[in-house]
């Protein structure tokens, strides 16, 4: 697994498509773990997110989308606005559009969750970072 984490490219595998969706399983590696786009269509995107133990995503918000997070395995520490909650397997939460949020793995095993994005624009550039452990905030 350590060798996989050192690879810094994107892999893509074509999935069967229909007229309603543009479905591609593309895995992108990040300093905190990885995400795979499972399906994408007009107004929605579904991702599988894996966060390494002890790591967290940036404190961020999105102007054009909301997100639903469902924990598959591991433990999630979620900051959403002023609220901080812990989620375990088969628990979920909702992150409204334009709300500061953060996902963290305080556990000792990888955190795996499914994220469902809804909105008018779902591009990776719709992100405003307020704090980031990996120095990715814009100055």
What average pLDDT does the segment 89-115 reach?
98
- Does the predicted TM-score (pTM) go above 0.85? no
Helix, strand or coil, per DSSP, at residue 87? strand
- Which residues make beta-bridge pairs with 34? 29, 50
- Give me the pLDDT at residue 23, please: 55
Q: Is 70 exceeded by the pLDDT of residue 13?
A: no
pLDDT tens-digit series, residues 55-78: 999 999 999 999 999 999 999 999
Check whether 128 has a pLDDT greater than 50: yes
* Alpha-carbon 90 to chain mean position: 17
Average pLDDT, the chain: 87
């Amino acid at each position: 697994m350590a060798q996989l984490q050192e690879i810094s490219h994107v892999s893509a595998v074509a999935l069967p498509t229909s007229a309603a969706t543009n479905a591609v399983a593309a895995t992108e590696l990040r300093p905190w773990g990885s995400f795979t786009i499972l399906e994408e269509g007009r107004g929605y995107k579904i991702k599988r997110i894996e966060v390494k133990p002890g790591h967290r995503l940036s404190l961020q918000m999105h102007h054009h989308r909301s997100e639903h997070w469902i924990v598959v395995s591991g433990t999630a520490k979620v900051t959403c606005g002023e609220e901080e909650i812990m989620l375990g397997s088969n628990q979920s939460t909702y992150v409204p559009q334009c709300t500061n949020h953060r996902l963290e793995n305080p556990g000792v095993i990888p955190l795996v969750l499914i994220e469902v994005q809804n909105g008018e624009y779902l591009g990776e550039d719709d992100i405003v970072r307020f704090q980031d452990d990996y120095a990715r905030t814009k100055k």
